[in-house]
Each structure stands twice: as C-alpha cells, then as structure tokens.
Amino acid sequence: MSESVARTQIPAPEESALAQRTLGVPALVFLIIAASAPLTVLAGGATTSFAVTGETGVPVGYLALGIILVFFALGYGRMSTYVQNAGAFYAYVAAGLGARQGIGTSFLALVTYNAMQIGLYGVFGFTASSIIGDVIGLELPWWVWALAAWLLIGVLGINKIDLSAKVLIVIVSLEFVVVIGVSLLSFGVAPEGISADPFLPMNWLTGSLGALLAFGIAAFMGFESGAIYSEEVKNPKRSVARATYIAVGIIAVFYALSSWAFAIGIGPSEIVAQSQEWGPDLMFVFLEQQVPVVVANLAAALFLTSIFAAMVAFHNAAARYFFSMGRARVLPQYLGATGAQNGAPVAGSMTQTALALVFIIIFAISGTGSEFGPLYPVMTMFPWLTNAAGFGMVLLLCITSVAIMRYFGRDPHNHPLLIRTVAPLVAAIGLGVIAVLIMLNFDVMIESEGFSALVVIIPGVIIGSGIVGLIWGEYLRVKRPEIYQAVRDANIG
C-alpha cells in the first residue's frame, strides 16, 4: 500500500487527547440521528417544505437526497478507516487536496456547525416560551429559556461524551415513538384514503423540485458527524462507517415514510394549505383533534427536547472542531486542551458556549420592541443562521467528495472503482447542484419578500469563511511553515 493511503491516527499529546474507546456503534448512531432531530423534521421541516414549495412530493425529496448521500457515505465511510480526526472534513480535505485547502475547510466547517447550533437557540427559546406559557401559564421571554438550555448544554459539553450520548439515546428513542405514533394515527384517520399521491411524478417533478431538495437537506444535517467522534469510538476502522450507513438509511427512509403518512393523515389535497396556515403547529393541531390533550402536550414537550438534542449534538461537533484546530495549532493551541479526567474537549466546548451566549444576547437586545413580537427569534435568528449552516454543509460535503476522489485516486489498485471514483463523483455533482439550488431559493428559505441584502450577505459569510481559511493557510505556509508542514504530514496531504 502506498504512503498516500497509509492508515493514520493523528498523534496527540496526553493532555490533548479525547476520551478513547468510549462509544459503540449504537451510541454513535444515536448521536448522528440526534443532530437530524426526527420529531423536529416532521413537525417543522416537513410542514415548512409543504408550505413553501406548494407541492405534496416532499417524501420524494427525502428519498432523492438519501440516494445522493448514500453515494457520499460510501467514500466517506471508507475514508474514516484511514484517517481518524475530530475535525473530520478538515482532515479529509487536507489528506485529499492539501493542507491549505484543509485549513480553508476547517474554517468553513467551524462557522457552519456554530451557525446551526446557535440558530437553534432561537426556535428553542420561542417553542419553550410558547409551550410552557400555554401549559402552566408561566410567561417568560424566549431568551430566558434559551439561556436555560445554554447552561445545561454547557455542562454536558465539558463532561465525557458518553453522558451526552446517554441523554440523547433517551430523547431520540422517545422522538421515534412519537413520530411512529403520529404516522400510525395518520394512516388510521386518512380522510381521503391511503394513496401514493405524494410519490406521483406530477407532485414533485415540477419547477419546485429544487426547492424540495434545498429545504430537505436540512433534515440530514449531522448525518456526517460520525467521523467527528472517530477518536472516541471503540473501533474507528469499522464503527464510523457502519454508523454512517445506518444513519443515512434510517434518516432517508424514516423521514420519507413519516412525511408521506402525515400527508395522508391531513389529506393530500389539504396538506399544503394546512401547512401554510399552521406551519410547525400543524402536527400538534392534528393531535389535539385526535387524542387527549395530555398526549398532545406530551408530544409538544418532546418536540422541545428534540430541538435540545440537536443543539447538544451540534455543540459537540463544534467543540471538536475547535479542539482539532487548536491541537494542530491552526487556531490558538489552548483550544486543544481536554479534561484530565474525562477527555472532553473542555476548551473547545467552553469557547462554543461563550460564542452562543454572545449571539443570544445580541438577538435578545435587537428583538426588543420588534414588530415581530415574540416571533422575532424564529423570524430572524433561527432561519438566518440555520439556513446559512445548511448551505455551508452542502459545500462541505461537495468539497469532501472531491477530496475523497483525489485521495483514493492516488492508489487505484487498492480501491474499487465505485468507491474511488463513481460514488464520490455522483455525490459531488449532486451536492453541487443542491448548492446552486439553495442559492437560487435563498430568498424563499429566509422568507424574504422581495430582494433582501441578507440573500447575499448570509451565503457570503459562509463562502467568505472558507476564503479566510485559505488565506490563513497560505499565511501559515509562509510565516509558520512548521505548523503548515505538521498539518500536511499528519493528514498525508
């Protein structure tokens, strides 16, 4: 086997080592799926997609995206057996395309994961304020509940990863129970009968197909995160690949079936209009009409914990990127510090926590007296940051696909044609098309009426972060060649 594909484990001093051999495949699958938040996708993502696209073919969008991401996962999973690093995208791109490109990718990934995690505080705060206010009459502003979640996530982040995994296993399991229950109830109600109407070409092979894919990709955010935990799993050469394949399959099929069932429960001819009227509340309105109010309230509470689970998962991912970049000295070295007893990326976690606090404060102040009233965080903080993150994730996946193709292409005799060329090429093309579609539909995604500067600014920040990273990589090459060379050597770029 050539040097370019020698199996590597990024060396790290003891004080900069994550907890070793902590996670098994089941725990890793739950960590991945938690970021995709099954209940949040059905209640929020699917209804939004029905409403905005005006099409019933939302389930087909999930299946199409699943197929593209299966091709990505084939190369991504195999890559995880050769390079284990908490900064997965950064390490893979450095190995495939070079250290400068890897550093540029690390900046892009860091901004993407932080944007997703922080943006979720907006919807969490609003949802908590609404649910708790309705149920027990305690009226508090959204940012109070956002800060409560922020504190709990901060505590989980500086503890051993298996604590977060245990919390997420419970939450995600309950989410699956609720979504399956809603699906079965939907088939039982079926006011227009059970049909394959949402899968018919006339309902998705239209001018809205691009919007279906652009909105649907957010449901898969986090599926790639298995590789981020590659230094903490029991068997990184197998566990990451297996967990990624399982997660992609579950996410694609489960979301397609549950969104189809929900459309049947509301009625294919009504699902678009009802989604436009009620938005994310539609699922709870449906439940209130079919089950005792206590059951509907329980589902609403689990919707809140679903968002919380996603926030924990993205916090962990962002913390590990800070850790990986600090350990490599691409960012200040103190970010590579871990807990002496638990191996948690303490410095990275606390940095992400501090960054989230800054944004919560900014949006809390800026929303004072806003015309949006209590809707302010879900009209600004949530869509702006999470849609930016969705765009950033598609770019990351596309770039990584090219890097994987280049990496395995150096040693073609040891890798099947499907893995080294076909799968990553199909993924790169498909993801590139989705990135363009997101750009074309960005005004719709942030619900902008007419032209808005945000349509340029938000994607510009994402693209700009990668460009800044490339410039920083070139600076390190010229001014700090020992750091640049270490990144290059560690990842066999």
Neighbours of 294 (CB within 10 A): 9
Contact by Cβ (8 Å): 97, 355: no
Distance, CA of 263 to CA of 132 (rounded, Å): 28
Domain extent for 150? 3-490
Percent of the chain residues topping a pLDDT of 70: 91
Q: Which of 215, 259, 168 is nearest to 447 (CA)?
A: 215
Tell which wins on pLDDT, 135 or 165: 135
Tell which wins on pLDDT, 281 or 69: 69
pLDDT at 369 over 70: yes
pLDDT at 97 over 80: yes
Distance, CA of 44 to CA of 39 (rounded, Å): 8
Lowest mean pLDDT across 28-37, 136-145, 403-412: 28-37
Tell which wins on pLDDT, 27 or 273: 273
- CATH number for the domain including 263? 1.20.1740.10
Contact by Cβ (8 Å): 111, 465: yes
pLDDT value of residue 24: 73
pLDDT at 224 over 80: no
Extended strands (E) in 22-108 = 83-84
pLDDT in tens, 182-196: 999 999 999 999 999
Lowest mean pLDDT across 273-277, 334-338, 441-445: 441-445
Lowest mean pLDDT across 156-160, 182-186, 362-366: 156-160
Amino acid letter at 101?
Q
pLDDT value of residue 163: 66
- The angle subtended at Cα 311 by Cα 308 and Cα 312, nearest 5°, is 90
pLDDT in tens, 132-142: 888 788 889 99
Q: Looking at residue 341, what DSSP letter applies?
A: T
Give the model's confidence band at 4: pLDDT under 50 very low, under 70 low, under 90 confident, else very high. Answer: very low
pLDDT value of residue 204: 87
Mean pLDDT of 29-49: 81
Lowest mean pLDDT across 23-37, 56-70, 445-459: 23-37
Amino acid letter at 194?
I
pLDDT value of residue 493: 41
Give the model's confidence band at 18: pLDDT under 50 very low, under 70 low, under 90 confident, else very high. Answer: low
pLDDT in tens, 286-321: 998 999 988 888 888 888 888 998 898 899 889 988
Give the model's confidence band at 438: pLDDT under 50 very low, under 70 low, under 90 confident, else very high. Answer: confident
Lowest mean pLDDT across 53-57, 404-408, 464-468, 477-481: 53-57
Computed over every residue of the chain, the mean pLDDT equals: 85
pLDDT at 479 over 60: yes
Distance, CA of 159 to CA of 162 (rounded, Å): 8
Number of domains present in the structure of the chain: 1
pLDDT in tens, 201-213: 988 887 777 778 8
